[in-house]
Structure 1
Amino acid sequence: MFPGSVQVDVTGLMVAQPPGRQLRPDGVCWHTPGVRVLICPDKFAGTLSAPEVAQAIADGWAVPSDELIRLPIADGGPGFVDVLATALDGRRIPVHTVDPLGRPARGEILYANGTAYVESAQACGLHLLTREERNPNTTTSYGLGLLLAAAVETGAAQVVVGLGGSAVNDAGAGMLAALGAAPVDAAGYALPYGGAPLITAAALTGPPRLRQVALVAATDVDNPLTGLHGASNVFGPQKGATRDDVLRLDAALEHFAAVLEQAFGLEDLATRPGAGAAGGLGAALIALGARVTSGIGLVSELIGLNRELDAADLVITGEGSFDHQSLRGKVVAGIAAGARDRGLPCVVLAGRNETGHREASAAGVTETHTLVQHFGSVATAMAEPARGLRELAGRLSRQWSR
């Protein structure tokens, strides 16, 4: 029992009430003298992890009577395993893998309650390459295949693959090769790694070695594999693709989708929602029988987000770049929608903002504040994000507290 006071609910039963909370005059429910603030950000890519962002915001909040709930979150991209590891009673298993250029890289599997969780960005992440190294014509998802194979070897009945933040555009061809189902040309020769060579793919060398494990693709976006909103057009440029590259890659992925359809007896693979996630890794996982789910939805359920939203007065979320992609299944979109459905104000803190006010408002965002605007400098925003978040949080606390 909490010391002090009690709560009377509608049934008339007496239940414990946390210190500092008081009965409403109607005796039905309690409230806090301050504000219950739910802090649930994503990472600020390249600078701070989601837990570090949440901590910086909490450190800057200047009203001691307010109750701060830190709940860092991920959408399937970088930080997926870290966030889940804070919420699940599992063990982290280190794995040797390779990066998008085939260099040695460190990965890990989170194993909890018969399920193995794998993060594609640990092997395929854009953050693993310098800007000069980015080239989706040649980068490969082979490293994810090594992680997936290791996850299967844990004996897990189910493997959940977090998708997002990738440097690849090979529709999972490299991943399939690591699992024993490498794409080959009409003469039976293995293709070079990368997205561009897939235009000559004719078949796969064999069935993938997965021991019939159940797969789940936790995607950070719902884009199809090809077309105007596909992996190459939308995400290719940030991975180093020129306009000519985008056209070449889109054609290659459309061709490879037909190869996958033939190999696995599928139809309309290229147009399925989520098939374009992580450079088309979604398509390969769908071909392997994976169930596609929202990354933010899955993480939210596992960490108890809805329960915390129900009890919140104010929601603060954010990410490094708040842009049009943010509202297509990423963390901010999921958090803002949950706040909107409950009539809660939702404040976004970001490194920069490229969305329109009307678009953000329709998604459930009450207001947006950025580090670039706060500092007046991109360089300072990148160099001192924690300080900027603390200062923004201090200003917000005086604005929103009772």
Structure 2
Amino acid sequence: MKILLAPDKFKGSLTARQVCDSMTQGIRLAHSDADIVALPMADGGEGTAEVLTLATGGEWLTIPVLDPLERPVQASYGISSGHQTAFIEMSQASGLRLLQRSEYNPLKASTFGTGQLILDAVQRGVTHMVLGIGGSATNDAGIGMAAALGWQFLNEKGEPVHANGGNLSLISRIIPPASPLRLTIDVACDVTNPLFGPNGAAFIYGPQKGASPDDIETLDQGLRRLAGLIHEQFGVDLAEVPGAGAAGGLGAGALFFLNATLKEGVKVVMEQTHFVDHLRDADLVLTGEGKIDNQTLQGKLINGIALEAKKSGIPVVALCGTLDANPQDIRALGLTAAFSVLTHPQSLDEALANASEAVSHTTFNLLRLLSRNTD
């Protein structure tokens, strides 16, 4: 019996790797000779770079960069074992996670540190890059990132413009670097917002980054200004590209400054981990995440795994902490079944502390149910 383990993390308690380990313990207790393939997964958000680094036998690097407010900080990224592919999450250098709530300020925040991570990977000779852009503190359309990579932004007097969200409207001319990047870049992007306007980066995501109503207007005007300049100078129209408004306009910035391709996060992860190859000849797929709810139905990891497995008629069972989905939702996901690993009332702290044991026990019971060997 071949069992493919492909879970996401249980946020706050277990990494995807640890979930695989706990599932493996339960399987071994119930079915000692099972062929187990452990494939920790992610949905393109937090933790994706680490998962992909692990999947490719790579190494995790830490370098000094500037945080969103351009203060020194240590940030990490992964690089595959052959040094061909880099796995970067912009939140490591330019994310809200690096700021106190009182420091949130998308007018001042910059993606410069993300550009530093990219530059470091390029200097190490990578030819491909996977860039996750969730959790941003910024609304600069990627000009900070671009500045770190050699792009110049000048005002009407020909003077350099400091690259942050509040200065977008001051830019009158964009000068590319002498040597463009020579690598392919896939950006994990799960939103479809345009760059500006009522559904754009500033109006939809600005408030959660600390933007006031006046700030939002300033940021939106700046995004419009930058899009107009790019169209005028380079003939590239980014305004209505789905995903251009992701991460404070970094979606658009990645398209233009990096010549990147925007892809669904789950698809990027499944490609990089060669999920379809591992799925071949599997008898069962075990997946899971901390909570299964409406978001799971909206193109997240479990949905992607179930859809792929369904093509081959392979059953998929999901384990989770909180199961907030009805039978119709479970079927809509393409799952054979879903189970919460919580077996008795307990506090959140207790549930988090006992997560590993709970996953192992639930996996054991599931495999005993499915196995013909009931001795």
| Local SS of the residue matching 2:109 | coil
| Local SS of the residue matching 1:38 | strand
| Local SS of the residue matching 1:119 | strand
Runs of at least 5 residues in structure 2 that lack an aligned partner in the other structure: none
State the 1:280 CA deviation.
Answer: 2.9
The answer for the alignment partner of 1:9 in structure 2 is: none
The answer (yes or no) to whether the contact 1:114–1:158 under 8 Å persists in 2 is no
Match of 1:177 among 147, 153, 174: 147
The answer (yes or no) to whether the contact 1:191–1:201 under 8 Å persists in 2 is no
The answer for the alignment partner of 1:207 in structure 2 is: 176
Match of 1:334 among 281, 304, 318: 304
The answer for the alignment partner of 2:17 in structure 1 is: 51
The answer (yes or no) to whether the contact 2:88–2:129 under 8 Å persists in 1 is no
State the 1:85 CA deviation.
Answer: 2.7
Answer 1 or 2: higher relative contact order, Cα 8 Å, separation at least 6.
2
The answer for the alignment partner of 1:312 in structure 2 is: 282
Match of 2:6 among 40, 43, 63: 40
Amino acid at match of 2:331: S
State the 1:55 CA deviation.
Answer: 1.7
Mapped to 1, the partners of 2:222 and 2:17 lie a distance apart of 38
The answer (yes or no) to whether the contact 1:78–1:122 under 8 Å persists in 2 is no
Mapped to 1, the partners of 2:300 and 2:147 lie a distance apart of 29
Mapped to 2, the partners of 1:204 and 1:255 lie a distance apart of 11
The answer for the alignment partner of 1:291 in structure 2 is: 261
Q: Deviations over 1:282-315 (max 9, x none)?
A: 2111112113334433332332311222322222
Structure 2 length-normalised TM = 0.79
Mapped to 1, the partners of 2:11 and 2:96 lie a distance apart of 10
State the 1:50 CA deviation.
Answer: 2.0
State the 1:110 CA deviation.
Answer: 0.6
CA distance 1:94–1:236, change in 2 (3 Å): same
Amino acid at match of 1:347: V
Q: Please show how residues 188-203 of structure 1 align to structure 2 within 5 Å.
A: 188=159, 190-191=161-162, 193=164, 195=165, 197=166, 200-203=169-172
The answer for the alignment partner of 1:79 in structure 2 is: 47
State the 1:168 CA deviation.
Answer: 3.3
State the 1:175 CA deviation.
Answer: 0.9
CA distance 1:387–1:250, change in 2 (3 Å): farther
Amino acid at match of 2:92: Q
Match of 1:223 among 188, 192, 195: 192
| Local SS of the residue matching 2:52 | helix
Matched, 1:110 2:79: yes
Matched, 1:270 2:236: no
| Local SS of the residue matching 2:30 | coil
Q: Deviations over 1:331-379 (max 9, x none)?
A: 2232122122223332333454666764553332344445679655444
Mapped to 2, the partners of 1:248 and 1:399 lie a distance apart of 60
Q: Please show how residues 121-270 of structure 1 align to structure 2 within 5 Å.
A: 121-130=91-100, 133-181=103-151, 183=153, 186=156, 188=159, 190-191=161-162, 193=164, 195=165, 197=166, 200-203=169-172, 205-208=174-177, 211-226=180-195, 230-231=200-201, 239=209, 252-267=222-237, 269-270=238-239
The answer (yes or no) to whether the contact 2:189–2:263 under 8 Å persists in 1 is no
| Local SS of the residue matching 2:278 | helix
Q: Greater CA deviation, 281-290 or 200-209?
A: 200-209
* Identity across matched positions, percent: 35
State the 1:147 CA deviation.
Answer: 0.8
State the 1:316 CA deviation.
Answer: 2.3
Match of 2:31 among 64, 77, 89: 64
| Local SS of the residue matching 1:148 | helix
| Local SS of the residue matching 1:393 | helix
| Local SS of the residue matching 2:236 | coil
The answer (yes or no) to whether the contact 1:176–1:208 under 8 Å persists in 2 is no
Runs of at least 5 residues in structure 1 that lack an aligned partner in the other structure: 1-31
Q: Deviations over 1:182-229 (max 9, x none)?
A: 555555452463x4x156243455214654312312314142334676
Mapped to 2, the partners of 1:357 and 1:130 lie a distance apart of 41
Mapped to 1, the partners of 2:103 and 2:342 lie a distance apart of 27
Mapped to 1, the partners of 2:226 and 2:342 lie a distance apart of 41
CA distance 1:192–1:145, change in 2 (3 Å): closer
| Local SS of the residue matching 2:7 | coil
The count of corresponding residues between Structure 1 and Structure 2 is 365
The answer (yes or no) to whether the contact 1:217–1:285 under 8 Å persists in 2 is no
